[in-house]
Chain A
Amino acid sequence: MAQEIFELISSSLWMIVGIALIFALYLAISGICYFVWGLYSKGREKAQGYTSLKTVTFGDESAVVANRIASIAAVIAIFLLWAIATGSSLLPFSVLPGPHKGETSFEYTATNAAGETGKGTITMLVHEFGEKPEPLPLAADDGDFAQNQSVVVAQRRKALIKTQADEGFTFTEIDGQPISAGDTVNFADGNVLVTQRGSLSVEPDVGMTMEALYLPPPEAVWTRFIDLNKNGYQGVGLWENVFWSLIRVVVGFALGCLFGIPLGFAMGLNGWLRGWFDPIVEFMRPVPPLALIPLIIIWFGIGEQGKISLLFLAALWIMTIAARAGVSGVNISKVHAAYSLGATKRQILSKVILPNSLPEIFTGARVAMGVCWGTVVAAELVAAEKGAGKMIIAASKFQLTDIVIIGIIIIGVIGYGIDMIMRGAENKLVPWKGRG
């Protein structure tokens, strides 16, 4: 226990270092861009209108406007870093050395049981992962016992060169550098390790770029995206997956609103019903919907009914609380005014309380849509037949990192799009929000 806690703390401390380094790098790039932009914009870019007349702007939030050039530069910087880190072919030149590719060779010296010394050449062809090239022809043999060999090895992989049949055969030098068992020496394009059993383990240079397994280069992701668009993955189209995730969210959210809003109104208007539903609402509100997934699967299985029930529950409490807050938030003067003007209870509900609570309901709806979108992806990760989450979890099992990245990007873009649509609807339908 103590050991585990110690490990947790120490790994957190290391994370601070790592995160600080990443931020420092990104901020340094930002600083360079700012400098370049400053050179360009000197005298051209000025604060507009009223802000330009302010003598003090630091601490004045209204004077801080997002610099859109910075936003564009930031996005370009991320793609650039991505391309650099993966050694993308989109870049005209490689910034970080990539893994060695093509021919290389080294010479070894060995002794045999008879005490003779011989030299041989190992010729290697390093190819990209997935290719199957023919081995290079052997170099002309010099006739001693140490034979030449030709090896084919994939980038970032190792090749094992076994000792030759002769019992007393021992490697003693690589390209003139003495070695013994357990040593590693470098040759022109990689390194060689002599294993304890006397074989050679050859590893061509891996370079400094990331392996596609961890992060594929942007063009590979784009190619995969085109391919997914055309052929789908595991027989399900890309947009079909997205569509299924979306339709679940929409149906679950709609059900949540259908029941949550009247429930919230009831709780806001009636003491008995508020008392009746208070415990369950207050209890369910802090339960993360993800924690319900196991129970939902036990009850409903992994089909649509389970997903929609989960999303319904995710949206229900949020909408209930939003509607209740909307009713509670009505200024009593408005209700009194309506009564004085002769409105009946029903009219007060439909003409005063309902419209008055719309801003709160919209705020709740935005939160609920966000939560539903997150929940549906998580639920699909656990178990589903179709859906954006299903696509990425299935792809991750086959280490198809490019599909995982496409999925994450699409999920992010759609989440953002949903929020934009909700905000647009809010501005359209409750223009008085925040201006009362």
Chain B
Amino acid sequence: MSGLTINDVSMTFELPNGGSVEALKDIKLNIKGGELLSVLGPSGCGKTTLLNILAGFLAPTAGEIDLNGHKVTGPHPERGMVFQQGALFEWMNVSENIGFGPSMKGTPKGEIDDRVQELLGIVGLQEFGEKMIYELSGGMQQRVALARCLCNDPDVILMDEPLGALDALTREKMQSLVLDIWKKTGKTIILITHSVEEALLLGERLLVMAPRPGRVHKEYRLPFAELGVGADLREVKRHKDFGPTRDEILNMIWDMEEEIMGRTENA
């Protein structure tokens, strides 16, 4: 069975004061191979927890994750991760960062070099292979993070707000890059974001999650990712359905936030 299956995953954190928080409750999800899924939700809805469970950094308190027919028990190169920032290795140059995964496996150096060169081209950093990480801008660093993840050829790419720290223009360019990579490589990509527009642009399928307990609130199938591949994203945003969908989701999240605030005030 190809694809990623989330079987009734729940996650309950014990609090030091004896209480507990249901970060995730009975999440059920099937993600096909090659699918581009974006996950959106107010803070505290458990989306980062879900991603950490998918990556294998956390074990769910109930349920399980299956990838291509086997159970996920820990981190594995089959599931690559792109972090928001700060996850690059400053003591290595760009090429060494990108080739980190294969070199850990002991892949021959020539093979790694070829692969790194190819990826430098894909993410548009041909000239920067010898640069150190601290010499790059934030956007370039995220390109390196993306390339490092791709270099290991994972089945699933998990992205934890990878563009969250970038300025608007850089972000737009990176969104196009993510779409290109998705189309070129055919990888399954799960992307967590705070930005509704980003979730619309970078999700064939979009999950809106709700907090307390963390759960899937609503699911959308969207045409925008497909339209955006190789196209001007601003053009995509002028699509007749884009604005209404964005407003609908914004209202939904707004209501959730209101509800949380109200509950906190009553408590």
Contact = CB atoms under 8 A, between A and B. Distances in A.
B196 to A, nearest CB: 25
B89 A333 contact: no
A334 interface: yes
Interface of A: 331, 333-334, 336-344, 347, 351-352, 355-356, 358, 430-432, 435-436
A355 B74 CA distance: 24
A435 B90 contact: yes
Contacts of A339: 56-57, 74-75
B156 to A, nearest CB: 10
A336 B81 contact: yes
Task: Classify the interface of chain A: helix, strand, loop or mixed.
Answer: helix
Interface string B78-102: 0111011011111100000000110
B87 A333 contact: yes
B71 interface: no
B184 interface: no
A334 B87 contact: yes
B132 A341 contact: no
A432 B132 contact: yes
Contact of A432 (B57, B100, B134): B134
Name the residue in B55, B84, B90, B149 with the highest tally of chain A Cβ atoms < 10 Å from its Cβ: B90
B106 to A, nearest CB: 10
Nearest to A436: B90
Task: Classify the interface of chain B: helix, strand, loop or mixed.
Answer: loop
Given A342-B104, A435-B134, A337 B90 contact: no
Contacts of A331: 86-87
A340 B77 contact: yes
B240 interface: no
B76 interface: yes
A341 B104 contact: yes
B5 interface: no
B105 interface: yes
A432 B91 contact: yes
A435 B134 CA distance: 6
Interface in B129-160: 132-134, 148-149, 152, 154
A342 B101 contact: yes
B75 A336 contact: yes
A355 B75 contact: no
A382 B61 CA distance: 63
Name the residue in A337, A356, A435 with the highest tally of chain B Cβ atoms < 10 Å from its Cβ: A337
Contact of A337 (B56, B83, B105): B83
A217 to B, nearest CB: 52
Contacts of B84: 333
A186 B91 CA distance: 77
Given A342-B77, A342-B101, A342-B104, A432 B87 contact: no
Nearest to A343: B104
A333 B89 CA distance: 10
A336 B152 contact: no
B75 A340 contact: yes
A339 B55 CA distance: 10
12 contacts: A331-B86, A333-B87, A334-B86, A337-B148, A339-B74, A340-B76, A340-B154, A341-B80, A343-B100, A356-B91, A358-B91, A431-B132
B150 to A, nearest CB: 11
Contacts of A344: 104
Contacts of B101: 341-342
Nearest to A341: B101
Contacts of A333: 83-84, 86-87
Given A339-B75, A432-B133, 12 more contacts: A333-B86, A334-B86, A336-B75, A340-B154, A341-B77, A341-B80, A341-B101, A342-B101, A342-B104, A355-B91, A356-B90, A358-B91
Contacts of B90: 356, 432, 435-436
Name the residue in B56, B79, B134 with the highest tally of chain A Cβ atoms < 10 Å from its Cβ: B134
A426 B133 CA distance: 18
A347 B91 contact: no
